[in-house]
Structure 1
Amino acid sequence: MINWRSSYAFALHRDDNSRWSEAKLILGSFLVILLIGTIFLVQPSSHNGEVTFVNALFTATSAISVTGLGVVDTGTAFTLQGQIFLLILMEIGGLGQMTMTLLLIAMFSKRVGLRQQVLAKEALGQEGSVNIVGLVRRIVLFAFIAQLIGTAVMAIRWVPEMGWERGLYVSFFHAVSAFNNAGFSLFPNSLMDYRDDPLISLTIALLLILGGIGFTVIVDLVRNRRWRKLKLHSKLMLVMTPALLLLGTLMFWLLERNNPGTLGGASLGGQWLAAFFQSASARTAGFNSIDTGQMVPAALLFMMMLMFIGAGTTSTGGGIKVTTFAVVLLATRAFLSKRPHVTAFGRTLSPQIVTRSLAIIMVSTMVLMLAMFLLMVTEDLPFDKIMFETVSAFATVGLSTGITASLSEPGKLILALVMICGRLGPLTLAFMLARPSETRIKYPEESVYTG
């Protein structure tokens, strides 16, 4: 459940002699897998004749970055072979390159190199003496058990509807897509037909939350079951995650309850269920149980804010990360209350963490603005739709107002780059900004008027 960005960012803040070789290795492996996935998807045996090279590249990028944006209908455009390739890309993208690499080394070799162990240990957010190979095995085991349980639960609904073979396959596909926060669906309208179905909606939502909370939190909960023993990171995640879920549920219900195109025709219970589902999906995956294109502007804006915040660090989700958002909130509170330090739960946050969080938000904003500008040049579409699509791609969410398939080829390539950047780039650049090389030169301080 580690993501590529954690590994790549760590590679960039090591010593000068090794950091670029590590970064090139991780970035290179990402691009190689992306190219292989594209080649597999563009093969005639993988699709039904409507997938061009650019469409295959876009889909492979969306899968390996676990975004879920699609320019073709996954269930009809791709054959069973193509869909299986997508499943593999989603697993690699969700679990992370370092996790999969260490697992393969452990399976086929007796020894894992110190270099790989150090990278994986840091990327997984582990400290002290850790059996990293055993840890990776437990990550993969946990992921597959969660996906199999999700498959079994959803099969209760889909096997009677579709038969054993098709029902189990559809259940497994959606369980993998949900846990890895990918958002790909075999249904042309995602999960809109199951808006009022608590079995499907709650199972998918739970898988999204499990995949999006981050392995660091899960392993901390297993090792330290008492609240006071948990790490500060885990406490922030366990407070912010339900808070964002509840806030999102309430806001979506308030804004959409009278909208006939979304929640207006549902029962009160169905409205709350759909609002909760969209709140869970907005920060992590691209599933939708209501028509996103019919949502009111205020709800779309709020959804963009949730997408930008994203999921947890070392999770399968994207965005700037929940803890990044929490750190900036805490820093703002400390400034407004004239406190000398940023604190939370009896712990003081270092200035480096605050600076890094601000750098992540700043660089992410710059990437989004550049991407939106380029798309406005290449596409003849309303600004609000371009903005929504860009934020969704950058945050690797995959929700869409329905314009993805109508993008020009340059527009698709721009959005593909945004997805790659959202998975790899901004956090890497933020680490470079927040952790510069040591220097013995110290310049005198001077004030600058701001605000």
Structure 2
Amino acid sequence: MHKLKELTVQDQRRRRLGDRILRRQSRGETVQFHVEPDKVRRVPPSPALLLIYGFLLLILIGTILLCLPIASRNGQFTSIITALFTATSAVCVTGLVVVNTGEYWSYFGQTVILVLIQLGGLGFMTGATVLFVLAGRRITLQERMLLRTSVGGGSLGGIDKLALRIVGLALLLEGIGILIVFPRMLTYFDPLTAFWQSLFLTVSAFNNAGFDITTTGTSLVPYSQDPVILLSVCVLVFLGAISYAVMRDITTIRRFRGFTLDTKLVIVTTLSFVVIGTVVILFSEFTNVGGMGGIGIGDRFAGSFFLSVASRTAGFTIVDIGAMQDYTLFFLMVLMLVGGASGSTAGGIKLNTFAVLGASIIAVLRGRDKTEVFGREIPDDQVRRALTIGALAIIWIHITIIVLAAWEDFTLTEVFFEAVSAFSTNGLSTGITGDLSSVSKLFLILTMFVGRLGPMTIVFALVQRHNPARYRRAQESVRIG
């Protein structure tokens, strides 16, 4: 008995996991469970990409509609390149055209262009948000972020109301413009044509598009002696180029000291460009018979003022741009490259970007470590973003110049002017757009698209990718200059 107990203890000591298996009959049916592996969730596109997709969709729809025979006056199909170029120019509110808008396109085609201008000028997502609100649809967080990118700011909570106010203000200003311009148009056209001309011109002016439907194809030259029309266009272009945020500050705060730094920079730079532009254009073209040298002195002052306002962002003109002096054209290129305010209907690298770059240069020249203006310090990351936008804009413009110069036989000044006009979505031209080859037109289409959405998407991408470093490396100086 003692030996048996000892063996049992030894067996228990030697027993290992798995030596003894207890089998028990299962009761009932065996239930099988099918376990699926976790699905890889797709990361939704960023708001910047959605904005690009929206503009591409508008361009695609516009191209298809403009290709239809009903869109042209001759009742024939329009070539894809012509329709694509026109649709892109309208959506990007550029104004460059390869055919005469008033002579080639029918009322249907002009209506398509007008709708594209309105949607492209106010921003695709702004119009879509208004439709969602009117239909009772809730605006998602991603759509709010996209809209904030499109309009250039605003809190996420009230972004839908902001979109409604922006569209409402735009329609109000355009309506006032029609009421002012329509009586003057009656002196040139019958009532129906006068109303259509007034509607098209005011929408194009507020959205800084530069499109016109005069059959002469010479922009606003037929109205060069009409101060009511020219002044109305200047006011609409000016308001559209300073953005809703600036107009809100001006109407609600009404004191320069109480304005935000952003509003102060826009107002100061805008007025500076208007004054400097008027003086430079007046003196450079004062004796140019092909430009403004052949009109009266008072008209020369008015013409210079109009060009400094309307030609800087919208592309309207009352003189032959191709007949202007080369140094005047280069000065206009600078104005066009800067463009209007962030979040406005105008293009360019934006006044805000230019102001930040200027303030940064002044700070360096004064030996300051920080960029300060109007008693406020601008964050270093915003200075770097402004520098990035400016550098990339110059690089892209030079690439465009190289492509156009390689394919075309025009002068370098004409090619340079066309490239800057396309990137800044300005629309001014020396008259070579319609004579460009298909390759050059396609590259200008890409340039207009990049110029319209490039600065906006770059800023948003930089903000989204902001990842502060958790450590710093050793510093080492390099030679500068």
Interval containing the TM-score (normalised by the shorter chain)? over 0.9
Alpha carbons 1:63, 1:86 under 8 Å: kept: yes
**TM-score normalised per structure 1:** 0.93
- From 188, 195, 210, the equivalent of 2:224 is 195
Change (3 A) 1:200 1:330: same
Counterpart amino acid of 2:145? Answer: V
Q: Which amino acid aligns with 1:64?
A: V
Counterpart of 2:179? 152
Give me the whole-angstrom Cα distance separating, in 1, the residues matched to 2:296 and 2:389.
41
Structure 1 counterpart of 2:47, from 22, 25, 40: 22
Between the aligned partners of 1:125 and 1:184, the Cα distance in structure 2 is 24
Residue 344 of structure 1: how far off its partner (Å)? 1.1
Aligned-residue offset at 1:97: 1.1
Select between 69-78 and 121-130 the one with higher mean Cα deviation. Answer: 121-130
Q: In structure 2, the residue corresponding to 1:160 is in which secondary structure?
A: coil
How many Å separate the matches in 1 of 2:391 and 2:289?
A: 38
Matched AA of 1:303:
L
Equivalent pair of 1:359/1:430 in contact (CA under 8 Å): no
Which residue of structure 1 aligns with residue 447 of structure 2?
Answer: 418
Contact 2:145–2:156 (8 Å) recurs in 1: no
Structure with more of its chain in helix, by fraction? 1
Q: In the alignment, residue 29 of structure 1 is paired with which amino acid? A: G
The answer to whether residue 79 in structure 2 is matched with residue 58 in structure 1 is: no
> 1:37 and 1:110 mapped to 2: Cα distance?
26
Check if 1:259 corresponds to 2:288: yes
Q: Deviations over 1:38-83 (max 9, x none)?
A: 0001100001347311001000000000000000000010000000
**Of 147, 161, 165, which aligns to 1:134?**
161
What does residue range 384-399 of structure 1 map to in structure 2 within 5 Å? Answer: 384-399=413-428
Query: What is the Cα deviation at residue 432 of structure 1?
Result: 4.1
The 3-state SS of whatever aligns with 2:372 is strand
- Aligned-pair identity in percent equals 38
Q: Distance in 2 between matches of 1:128 and 1:57?
A: 36
Q: CA deviation at 1:122?
A: 4.9
Match of 1:181 in 2: 208
Match of 1:8 in 2: none
The answer as to whether partners of 1:368 and 1:391 remain within 8 angstroms in 2 is yes
Give the paired residue count.
435
Do structure 1's residue 330 and structure 2's residue 359 form an aligned pair? yes
Q: Is the 8 A contact 2:47 2:149 kept in 1?
A: no
Q: 1:283 aligns with which of 312, 319, 323?
A: 312
Alignment of 1:348 onto 2:377: yes
1:79 paired with 2:79, answer no
Where does the alignment leave 5 or more consecutive residues of structure 1 unmatched? Answer: 1-16
Offset of residue 441 of structure 1: 4.0
2:450 counterpart of 1:450: no
Whose relative contact order is higher, 1 or 2, with alpha carbons under 8 Å and at least 6 apart? 1
- Is contact 1:34-1:64 (8 Å) kept? yes
Alpha-carbon distance, 1:371 to partner? 1.0
Q: Which moved more, 1:60-69 or 1:278-287?
A: 278-287
* 1:359 partner SS: helix
Once superposed, what is the RMSD of the aligned Cα atoms? 1.7
Give the secondary structure class of the aligned counterpart of 1:201: helix
Distance 1:45 1:370, change over 3 A: same
For 2:303, the aligned partner's letter is A
The answer on whether the counterparts of 2:88 and 2:445 sit within 8 Å (CA) in structure 1 is: yes
Report the residue type matching 2:457 in the other structure: T
One of 37, 54, 67 as aligned partner of 2:94: 67
**1:283–1:319 contact (8 Å) kept in structure 2:** no
**Cα separation, partners in 2 of 1:374 and 1:104, compared to 1, 3 Å:** same
How far apart, in 2, do the equivalents of 1:330 and 1:252 lie? 25
SS in 1 for 2:186: helix
Letter in 1 for 2:120: G
**Deviating more after overlay: 42-51 vs 259-268:** 42-51
Q: Which of 49, 70, 92 pairs up with 2:119? A: 92
Residue 341 of structure 1 and its aligned partner are, at CA, apart by 1.7
- Greater gyration radius: 2
Which residue in the other structure is 2:199 paired with? 172
1:7 alignment partner in structure 2: none
Residue number in structure 2 paired with 1:247: 276
User: 381, 384, 388: which is aligned to 1:359?
Assistant: 388
What is the alpha-carbon distance in structure 2 between the residues aligned to residue 318 and residue 86 of structure 1?
A: 18
2:62 matched residue in structure 1? 37
* Structure 1 residue 107 corresponds to structure 2 residue 107: no
- SS state of the match for residue 162, structure 1? coil
Q: Aligned partners of 1:406 and 1:185: how far apart in 2? A: 19
Report Cα offsets for 1:304-358 as digits up to 9, x if no partner: 0000011000000000111111111111111111122211111111111111111
- How far did residue 217 of structure 1 move? 0.7
CA distance in 1, matches of 2:93, 2:125: 16
Q: What is the rounded CA distance, in whole Å, between the counterparts of 2:228 and 2:166 in structure 1?
A: 26
1:220 paired residue among 228, 249, 266? 249
Which amino acid in 2 is paired with 1:48?
R
Instruction: For residue 431 of structure 1, report the CA deviation from its aligned partner.
Output: 5.1
Equivalent pair of 2:363/2:371 in contact (CA under 8 Å): yes
- 1:3 alignment counterpart: none
